[in-house]
Structure 1
């Protein structure tokens, strides 16, 4: 069984691309288990299952026959993604990329970039659109 932590933000289109990439892994319906992770910041108070992006990803993966678990955490997103991947002993982390200008990266940072640079396991990055 191949276990993937799918780190989701609020963007439903990005979540669809991420979940589609996981569903397209070889033998996904029989061999892949996905943990959908949403990290709340700044005291947000909803449940992860109420986040549209999480629902979209869950629907795509369930329709593809992939075993899905949804979890939520609070904290700094990149560190939390890495911690959860370690705790569940994930084989891979899936993050959604987005294109940013060099100035945008410097000002806003990038959760995906932090995960890529700090992960001790493979990271699957799906494509994004210009912001």
Structure 2
């Protein structure tokens, strides 16, 4: 089995672009297993207040939409959730599940924005010893 880690955030278009990429891989239904990861962070302002009490990745619409797309393609998917440092959690889960590749959803950021705020994608690419694929941001 070819194992793929698919970390998603709250953006549904990005999550669907990642799911579409995985679904398009050769022989995906027979040979790919997906670990869909959502990391809850302290400063996650995109989440409604009601999630503070019942934090569960399966309640996040981007996670549900990506899961549906992957399952509709006939691919096995496991939902993972974590909390803390997104970049560190992605690398840790990749190691824990011994994935063969990490599929990230890219977003448009200016060079200044990357320098000031940092970039999870850039950090994962530089620190991972596994192949990292960055998909487009969908309809962004």
CA separation in 1, counterparts of 2:20 and 2:129?
Answer: 24
**Structure ranking higher on relative contact order (CA contacts 8 Å, 6+ apart):** 2
Q: Does 1:7 align with 2:37?
A: no
* Residues 59-90 of structure 1, C-alpha deviations (whole Å, 9 max, x = no match): 10000000000010011001100000000000
State TM-score, norm by structure 1: 0.95
Q: What's the counterpart of residue 47 of structure 2? A: none
Shift of 1:109: 1.2
Pick the aligned partner of 2:105 from 96, 99, 104: 96
Q: Which deviates more from structure 2 when the two are superposed, residues 101-110 or residues 49-58?
A: 101-110
**Unmatched tracts of structure 1, length 5 or more:** none
Q: Is the 8 A contact 2:13 2:137 kept in 1?
A: no
CA separation in 2, counterparts of 1:113 and 1:57?
Answer: 22
Q: Does 1:32 align with 2:32?
A: yes
Shift of 1:108: 1.6
* Residues 2-22 of structure 1, C-alpha deviations (whole Å, 9 max, x = no match): 000001110000000000000
Q: Is the 8 A contact 2:39 2:83 kept in 1?
A: yes
Aligned residues: 131
Alignment of 1:1-80 (within 5 A): 1-42=1-42, 44=52, 46-80=55-89
Q: Is the 8 A contact 2:14 2:105 kept in 1?
A: yes
Q: What's the counterpart of residue 116 of structure 1? A: 125
Residue 10 of structure 1 aligns to a residue whose secondary structure is coil
Shift of 1:128: 2.5
**Unmatched tracts of structure 2, length 5 or more:** 44-51
Shift of 1:124: 1.0
State TM-score, norm by structure 2: 0.89
